[in-house]
Structure 1
Amino acid sequence: MALRRWSAVRTGPTGDGILDLIERHYPKRAEVYVTSGMDGDHGKVSHHYGLHHRGSPTAAIDFGVGANARMGRDLAKWIEDEFGDLCVELIHTTPFPDDDGFYVKNGKKIASYGAATDAAHADHVHLAMSAAQVAKALARLAAKTGGAAPGPARQRAPRKAAKKAATPKKSLPAAAYHTVRAGDTLTAIAGRYKTTVPALVKLNPVITNPDLIQIDQRLRVK
């Protein structure tokens, strides 16, 4: 399901990848809403406007908490537990006495971003990642969940016996992935899987520059 977002929120390819990560895999995604991406005033230099981390373009997304402090803590804790080592920045301060906030910088948990920054992030969860980190997190969670987003199984009412056999539906082709190796290019990968570079870019929103892919990056090829 698509995350709720404020109407003014704008995101680029890497930001869309972060949202895709939450939409696919966060169990409580129905509670989440997006309050900021490339929009807003975040200072002159910010991952919100796109920087680079180890050669890969970054983006930052803010998820609103408002009065629901538990929702903010649950989201920040899930991010830290599942892929905190793949975050450029994770910042969220909670009012709960049994935790000391969630502060990650360049994949490492830190004690604080400073009193002013910590206080400014009590009403939202700030998450910054690079395109390469998003790809790795998606691959990690897909492997953990078997490619399916977690959530309660839907209960279907039993169907009455049909008078005649239903026509079998054509099954969709299963998704396939390729792990980038040294020397790979999108053109070569497209040729190997009998597809095109634009098709690969469409399947992989984390790709912001078709000429720049990362070794060990997991790309969907169909």
Structure 2
Amino acid sequence: MTAKVDFFYEFASTYSYPAAMRIDRVAEAAGVTVNWRPFLLGPIFAAAGMTTSPFNTQPAKGRYMWRDLERICQADRLALKRPDPFPQNSLLAARIAQALPDDGKRAAFSRAVYVAEFGEGADIAVPETLGRILEKLGIPAAPLIVQAGSDSVKQALRAAVDEAKAHGMFGAPNVVTSDGELFWGNDRLDAAIAWAARIG
């Protein structure tokens, strides 16, 4: 049986960017399959009494994060341009990702959104930005954007947030292995994949 992990990612999350760009490569090398699971941190932050990213409310932490991300992106040969505003409104992007089948299309769209947002500084809250990404991937944008606003997609994304809460998630990215182990952060991605491969 092929080992599997659930990859929970938030489009507004800085550290989800490098994680999303490398997780499939790391997982494939270890014989692990990745289930791409978009979710939203906003409801989780709100439940903790936060109205924005802790990287904004704690300036020293924010300065460290951006410098750390510069180092990571340089090492991974990823472009980096800070989006304005930060964090971005990721709701529509998350709904579109949820609407896409997890057959490679969701992963390809998600990576392209991260490149646009953190590599180019584009505003991912704008439907035109996401529409261009879809069209470049050969996916008709208009019907999918309509589908992203359907009740079934909204409910599926809410269920993903509820599942994230049940796992005890408080940030992103996260990897959950088949035995329920939670690994938080881009820096724990390799350990998560190794764990998943070991338990099968």
Normalising by the residue count of structure 1, what TM-score does the alignment of the two structures yield? 0.23
Higher helix share: 2
**Of the two, which has the highest radius of gyration?**
1
Structure with larger RCO (C-alpha < 8 A, sep 6+): 2
Normalising by the residue count of structure 2, what TM-score does the alignment of the two structures yield? 0.25
Higher strand share: 1
